[in-house]
A and B are shown apart, each in its own frame.
Chain A
Amino acid sequence: MIEYTWLVPFIPMMCFLIIGLIGRKTPEKGGYIAIAGALLSFLIAVAISFEYLTGPKFAAGQPVTESMRWFAIGDYTLNLGYYVDGLTCAMMLFSSFISTLIFIYSIGYMHDQGERKNRYYAEVSLFLTGMLGLIVSSNFLELFIFWEVMGLCSYLLIGFWSFRHHEGDAASANAASAAKKAFLVTRMGDVCLMGGLFIFLNLFHSLDYTTMFANIGEVAAQNSGLVTLALLLMFGGVIGKSAQFPLHDWLPDAMAGPTTVSSLIHAATMVKAGVYLVARAFPLYVMDADVMLFVGIIGGLTAFIAATMALNNMNIKKVLAYSTVSQLGYMVLALGAGGYLWALGYHELGALGFFAGCFHMINHAFFKALLFMGSGSVIHGTGTEDMRLMGGLLKKMKITGMTMFIGCLAIAGIPIFSGFWSKDLVIDVAMAAFQNGTGSAATWFIVLWILAVITAFMTAFYMFRMWFMTFMGEPRENAQHCHGESPKTMTMPLIILAICATISGLFMFFGLGDILAFQGVAIDGVHHGIELFTNPFTYLTLILAIVGIGIAYMMYVKKTMDPGKFNKDGESWLYKALTKRWWFPDLYNQISWKLGYGVAKGVNYVDRQVVDGSVNGLSAAVVGGGDTLSKIQTGHVQDYSTVILLGVSLLSVLVLVIAKLMGGF
């Protein structure tokens, strides 16, 4: 079955074509085709994973990979192929599974979108193609192609409502500019990634994982500077795609798209691609401890900054968006800390960091898909995204409320629920990096650990703030008009995801540590799972999380604590800074106006005046010269013969003179 791995991205691509060409004529405008495609991909992924995980290669800790030559430039050979290892299997399974659920949910959520559904289903199918293709790629060029396919699809889907938005023209313009922002900001990262790939291609003469992973030690020893640069550039791509600080600001704006799209981007595809890239290139990254430290710092900062911005946001989807950014920061932090430890020689802990990052990615996929779809259900019911207009919805939307409650518990890191296991492992790895690190790196990691712990507290607070504001208290404006629970196609995926979000953390007790082993160093999930309960720091984060939930409860349900007291009724400096997103959008605007627009104007000037000018000048000179010279053609035959005669005489004289000079006669 493994030899059919190419089918996994191929099927959604076929769905994209079928829906795009004839989807209009099918029921739900191609929705069922998209679901069938995603489900089929999932089933094939299950079969592949089963065969690989029970096969001899997995037991030997080796990937199954095969590639064919695509083209060669000089002695740079570029291939197309597939690469299946534990990470691939895990990613493939959760991406296709969650996408299937999201597509099913879309049937209900997008039901009233009419003809436009056709475009929607075609684009989400292509989106899934991008993610699955990226996962099964056997080399970085292939990965980069699918990476860009996803970039395109995110642009198209975030801007889905840039025409005829149901809330009017302002919302349309907002969707269009959000799409542009997402596209351009991620593009900055993509350019970096491409630069990194060029350097690697130059060093390795190939971009195949197998070749690169086998030779990295040798190459890194000879060109350590170039490898460091390439790794940093590659991480630039991750910063863009996975919305890490300082390129994180596109993700909250991306909420302008349909909620299902947000769910797809945040849970199953797109932002996971960045983390996946770090995990996939982990053998390269562990060559350089400093780069890994940098990765960890970016991750920790992102986790913290994004969490602060979620604290006071009133938009239900934006809170979730910031929490995604924050959780992505956790994953990157885990990978950075783990890679740092591995680079120092602590292979056991390094592999634990790798495992924690990937594990959190999987858990996050489940609970974030759940939370987004839950918020979609709420928005579907109330017709608004503003939490100030909701409240008391638990009575009207029981399933949505309960499933979202599970999602909140999972993300807040309450034991048994999935987020607890992976998040505390992440925090553990940061602690280990502090304990085993050297010099200033150790200082950095203790700072990052503190940030991570505070983030855990903030996460619990803002998630439950969101839940309490939405589902508890007295029903406000829009909540009063809510017409009850959403249709079955929407609640069924919610229930399934709620179950997954509850149990997916327990996977680590059933061999996930072996599947997500790094270079043969498997994680003993049972051991680490039990160890979490003997670790005092686990109780620290747990208590902080419970305190966070308690504060949220007192502020938004009991009303014994007035949030206005902390922010001086929205007048305090900090509150304003948070609503202004720490001025990042302004910073982006300033940079793009001052720098981008200035450069563009300069380029425009050079293009119009210098490049166009020289070409136009040349052609004008030719035309003018020809015009002038053509006046010589008088039409008088005798003028012509005079010229001929003079010319011939001149030539004869010349020949004579030359012959004389050369010593003839």
Chain B
Amino acid sequence: MIPMEYFLILAAILFVIGAYGVLTKHNAIVVLMCIELMLNAANINFVTFAAFNYDIVGQAFVIMSISVAAAEVAVGIAILLNAYKIRKTTTLDDPELTTMRW
């Protein structure tokens, strides 16, 4: 059996890649994708612990998490689409998109 650490390390690597993407990428679409990476890293952790502890609740929770993530992406992309319609850009540090501040 593959030891648990392998799964956890995989999840950690995925999470860090996601986080790196969120913090550095300029394109909002890419950032959304990176958020998905981070979410799935967390999902892997859920599944891993569920499997190793013989507890079905963790796996059930992952289903829930995936559906919420799907909804979240749908909303996020809808916002982006509208932002694009109005501002003609999806670049996050474009002055057109940083107007919601002081």
Binding site for B on A (CB under 8 A): 630-631, 633-638, 641-642, 645
Nearest opposing residue in chain A for B95, CB measure: A635
The answer, yes or no, to whether B93 is at the interface (CB within 8 Å) is yes
Contacting residue for A633 out of B31, B93, B101, CB 8 A: B101
Query: Which of A635, A637, A638, A641 touches B99 (beta carbons < 8 Å)?
Result: A635
B23 touches A645 (CB 8 A): yes
Q: Is the CB of B19 within 8 A of A645?
A: yes
B8-25 interface bits toward A, Cβ cutoff 8 Å, 1 = contact, 0 = none: 000000000001001110
Q: Can you add 5 more A-B contacts, CB < 8 Å, to A635-B101, A638-B22, A638-B24?
A: A633-B102, A636-B98, A637-B31, A645-B19, A645-B23
Known: A630-B102, A631-B102. A636 touches B23 (CB 8 A): no
CB<8 Å pairs between A and B, sample of 27: A630-B102, A631-B102, A633-B101, A633-B102, A634-B98, A634-B101, A635-B97, A635-B98, A635-B99, A635-B100, A635-B101, A636-B92, A636-B93, A636-B98, A637-B31, A637-B92, A638-B22, A638-B23, A638-B24, A638-B31, A638-B92, A638-B93, A641-B22, A641-B23, A642-B23, A645-B19, A645-B23
A622 to chain B, nearest CB (A): 16
Cβ of A641: which chain B residues have Cβ within 8 Å of it? 22-23
Among A631, A635, A636, find the residue whose CB has the most chain B CB atoms closer than 10 A.
Answer: A635
Contacts of A635 in B (CB 8 A): 97-101
How would residues 62 to 102 of chain B score, 1 for a CB under 8 Å from any chain A CB and 0 otherwise? Answer: 00000000000000000000000000000011000111111
Chain B residues with CB under 8 Å of chain A are 19, 22-24, 31, 92-93, 97-102
For the A-B complex, the count of residue pairs with Cβ-Cβ distances under 8 Å equals 27
| Bound-state Cα–Cα, A635 to B24, Å | 15
For residue A415, give the distance in angstroms from its CB to the closest CB of chain B: 95
Contacts of A637 in B (CB 8 A): 31, 92
Chain A nearest CB, measured from B94 CB (Å): 10
Chain A residues whose CB sits within 8 angstroms of the CB of B93 once the complex forms? 636, 638
User: A638 CB to closest chain B CB, in angstroms?
Assistant: 5
**Cα distance A576–B92 when bound, in Å?**
93
A residues in contact with B24, CB < 8 Å: 638
The chain A residue with its CB closest to the CB of B101 is A635
Residue ID in chain B nearest A629 by CB atoms: B102
Residues of A within 8 A of B23 (CB): 638, 641-642, 645
Contacts of A645 in B (CB 8 A): 19, 23
Cα distance, A258 to B97, chains bound together (Å): 78
Q: Which residues of B contact A630 (CB under 8 A)?
A: 102
The 9 closest A-B pairs by CB, nearest first: A635-B101, A635-B98, A630-B102, A633-B101, A633-B102, A638-B23, A635-B100, A641-B22, A636-B93
Alpha-carbon gap, A642 to B25, bound state (A)? 13
Residue of B nearest to A632 (CB): B102
Bound: A122/B32 CA distance, A: 81
Beta-carbon nearest neighbor of A627 in chain B: B102
A643 to chain B, nearest CB (A): 11
Chain A residues near B22 (CB-CB < 8 A): 638, 641
Across-interface contacts of B31 in A (CB, < 8 A): 637-638
Most chain B CB inside 10 Å of its own CB: which residue of A636, A638, A641 = A638
Residues of B within 8 A of A634 (CB): 98, 101
Determine how close the nearest CB of chain B comes to the CB of A644; give it in whole angstroms: 10
**A634 to B92 alpha-carbon distance, docked (Å):** 12
Report the separation of the CA atoms of residues A635 and B93 in the bound assembly, to the nearest whole angstrom. Answer: 8
Least CB distance from B68 to A in Å reads 19
Output the least CB separation between B49 and chain A (Å): 17
Q: Note all chain A residues with C-beta closer than 8 A to B101.
A: 633-635
- Closest B residue by C-beta to A633: B101
Across the two chains, which residue of chain A brings its CB closest to B26? A638
- The distance in angstroms between the C-alpha atoms of A641 and B93, with both chains bound, is 13
User: Taking CB as reference atom, which chain B residue is nearest A630?
Assistant: B102
Complex CA gap A247/B98 in Å reads 74
Chain A's nearest CB lies how many Å from the CB of B45? 14
Whose C-beta in chain A lies nearest to the C-beta of B22? Answer: A641
CA distance A635 to B22 in the complex (A): 15
A198 to chain B, nearest CB (A): 55
| A634 and B93 alpha carbons, distance in the complex (Å) | 10
CA gap between A638 and B28 in the complex, in Å:
10
Name which of B19, B22, B93, B102 has the most chain A CB atoms within 10 A of its CB.
B102
Min Cβ gap A111→B in Å is: 73
Shortest CB distance A134–B (Å): 64
Closest to A642 in B: B23
How many whole Å from B54's CB to the nearest CB in chain A?
24
A636: which B residues are within 8 A, CB to CB? Answer: 92-93, 98
CB B32 to nearest CB in A, in angstroms, measures 11
Which B-chain residue is minimally distant from A631 (CB atoms)? B102
* Shortest Cβ distance from residue A629 to the other chain B in the assembled complex, whole angstroms: 9
Q: Bound state CA distance, A631 and B102, in angstroms?
A: 7
**Chain A residues with Cβ under 8 A from B102's Cβ?**
630-631, 633
Q: For the complex, what is the distance from the CA of A303 to the CA of B70, rounded to whole Å?
A: 101
For A638, the chain B residues whose CB sits under 8 A away are 22-24, 31, 92-93
Distance (Å) between the CB of A332 and the closest chain B CB?
73
CA distance A630 to B100 in the complex (A): 12
Which residues of chain A are near B92, meaning CB under 8 Å? 636-638
Question: How far is it, in angstroms, between the C-alpha of A645 and the C-alpha of B101 when the chains are bound?
Answer: 20
Q: What's the least CB distance linking A491 to chain B, in Å?
A: 84
Complex CA–CA separation, A523 to B98 (angstroms): 98
CA distance A641 to B31 in the complex (A): 11
- Would you give the shortest CB distance from A2 to chain B, in whole angstroms? 76
Nearest-neighbour CB distance to chain A for B95, whole angstroms, equals 9
